[in-house]
Amino acid sequence: MKILLVFAHPEHRSFCGALKDTAVRTLADLGHDVTVSDLYAMKWNAELDSQDFTGDRVDDDYLDLSREQEHAFATHTQAFDVEQEQRKVAEADLLLFHFPVWWFSMPAILKGWVDRVFARGFAYSAGRKYGTGHFAGKKAMVCLTTGTGSTLYEPNGIDGDLLHVLWPIHNGTLAYTGFTVLPPFAAWMPGKVSADERQSYLDAYARRLTTFEDTEPLFFHPWEDYDKTQRLKPGVKARSSVQWNPSAGQTFEQAAHEYDQRSATER
């Protein structure tokens, strides 16, 4: 199996770097073909602008990025670095994002990688999203580190439930483009725990990676659960942990409680 690991941390000796090394070693030992895109080492340009289009533009006077992306992809006139990363994504069966949580999200360099690489035409297009997304059949997973403890990311924590925090990435980036999204792996404040606890994180991550092919993915409602306005149908109760469906008589509190009950049963 081919695996692309996109690494977004400026310090190789960080614990995020240790998780990356663990992933590469574990997956290679299992016989997988692992490619790493180390964005800081590559000095990845995070800015999506007109320089991504090397051929004739659709419109030289007005920069419509999605239109120009689609045209450049179709005419093979995208910037070389974008084409190289798209090739890696196209070949990969599993995509791993490794990053520290900064301001409740991914570092800007990784967001810029998504902006440029997940271009219209390549990653999405008219009528091709979610279940019919371009990357259907591929899997993706987030591996992250935090500067604070796990309790802050619980449903009653001050930072909010981790799956809620990661919804823009899990749903808005990965599921949107068709990926089957696996549950994230989090190493909680590794800079503030003991060496033994850090090693336990590395061991746990290695175990996760040995079984990723059989891991139950996160739940996202299929297309048929939505009406023509792309809202959950009246009879469908939300099960994603983030959504709730007022038209089904469901409140956010009820949806969250039902999700917690299902999660406890599954565990």
Rounded Cα distance, 164 and 215, in Å: 20
The residue segments making up the domain with residue 30 are 2-216
Rounded Cα distance, 58 and 70, in Å: 10
User: Helices (DSSP H) in 30-104: which residue ranges?
Assistant: 39-42, 65-74, 80-91
Q: What is the total count of domains within the chain?
A: 2
Q: Is the pLDDT of residue 183 over 80?
A: yes
Domain CATH for 20: 3.40.50.360
Indicate whether 158 and 251 sit together in one domain.
Answer: no
Indicate whether 101 and 203 sit together in one domain.
Answer: yes
- Amino acid 266: pLDDT: 55
Q: Is the pLDDT of residue 166 over 60?
A: yes
Count of H-run helices and E-run strands, the chain = 9, 6
Considering only residues 150 and 256, tell me which one the structure prediction assigns the higher pLDDT.
150
Indicate whether 88 and 190 sit together in one domain.
Answer: yes
Indicate whether 96 and 125 sit together in one domain.
Answer: yes
- Amino acid 258: pLDDT: 80
Model pTM above 0.75: yes
- Amino acid 259: pLDDT: 78
State mean pLDDT over 119-130: 95
For the stretch 191-222, pLDDT in tens is 999 999 999 999 999 999 999 999 999 999 99
- Give the start-end residues of each E strand in 80-224: 94-100, 139-145, 180-181, 185-187
Indicate whether 63 and 169 sit together in one domain.
Answer: yes
- Amino acid 199: pLDDT: 97
Indicate whether 133 and 11 sit together in one domain.
Answer: yes
Which pLDDT band, with edges at 50, 70 and 90, does 254 fall under?
A: confident
Indicate whether 53 and 136 sit together in one domain.
Answer: yes
Indicate whether 260 and 201 sit together in one domain.
Answer: no
Indicate whether 73 and 106 sit together in one domain.
Answer: yes
Rounded Cα distance, 177 and 181, in Å: 11
State mean pLDDT over 146-150: 95
Which pLDDT band, with edges at 50, 70 and 90, does 264 fall under?
A: low
- Amino acid 149: pLDDT: 95
State mean pLDDT over 24-47: 98
% of residues, the chain, pLDDT over 90 = 92
Indicate whether 160 and 241 sit together in one domain.
Answer: no
Indicate whether 189 and 246 sit together in one domain.
Answer: no
Are 100 and 16 contacting, i.e. CB atoms less than 8 angstroms apart? yes
Indicate whether 144 and 237 sit together in one domain.
Answer: no
Are 95 and 142 contacting, i.e. CB atoms less than 8 angstroms apart? no
State mean pLDDT over 124-135: 94
